Amino acid sequence: MIHWTLLIVAPGLLSLIAAFVGGGVLKRGATQVPAVLRFGLAIASPVLIVLAYFWIFHRIDFAIHRANGGSEEYMGPMAVLVYGSPIFALIFIASFFLASYRFAES
């Protein structure tokens, strides 16, 4: 059984950290790119980071499952995105606001 901190807490923190850092860095850096595109990337970066986290986590967990002679009824970490969608929706909304605030503040 995968511990809930790897499934909820770690992606939530990654999302908030990506929003905080991305909003500040994209406001000051890459000034030759239009501000609208930089703002869009700052908003999308938390979601992309969390999806990449779960994809990598799923690939590792599935490889471990197959190496142990796994059965057909495998449900990996990616299922948390479906079953925990209300939690992740709130995390992403908070990340969007944090990235917007950092982008406007910097």
Report how far residue 36's alpha carbon sits from residue 57's, in angstroms, rounded to the nearest whole number: 32
- 3-state percent breakdown (helix, strand, coil) of the chain, nearest 5: 80, 0, 20
User: For position 93, what pLDDT does the model report?
Assistant: 92
Establish how many alpha carbons lie within 13 A of residue 32's alpha carbon, considering only the half-sphere containing its beta carbon.
0
Angle between helices 85-105 and 10-28 (to 10 degrees): 20
Asked if residue 81 lies in contact with residue 62, where contact means CB atoms within 8 angstroms, the answer is no
Q: What average pLDDT does the chain have?
A: 86
Note down the domain range covering 58: 4-105
Average pLDDT over every residue of 80-102: 89
Q: What pLDDT digit, counting tens, does each position of 52-70 carry?
A: 999 998 898 888 888 888 7
User: For position 81, what pLDDT does the model report?
Assistant: 84
The closest alpha carbon to 50, from 3, 12, 22, belongs to 12
Average pLDDT over every residue of 30-35: 84
Report how far residue 78's alpha carbon sits from residue 65's, in angstroms, rounded to the nearest whole number: 14
pTM over 0.85: no
How many domains are there within the chain?
1
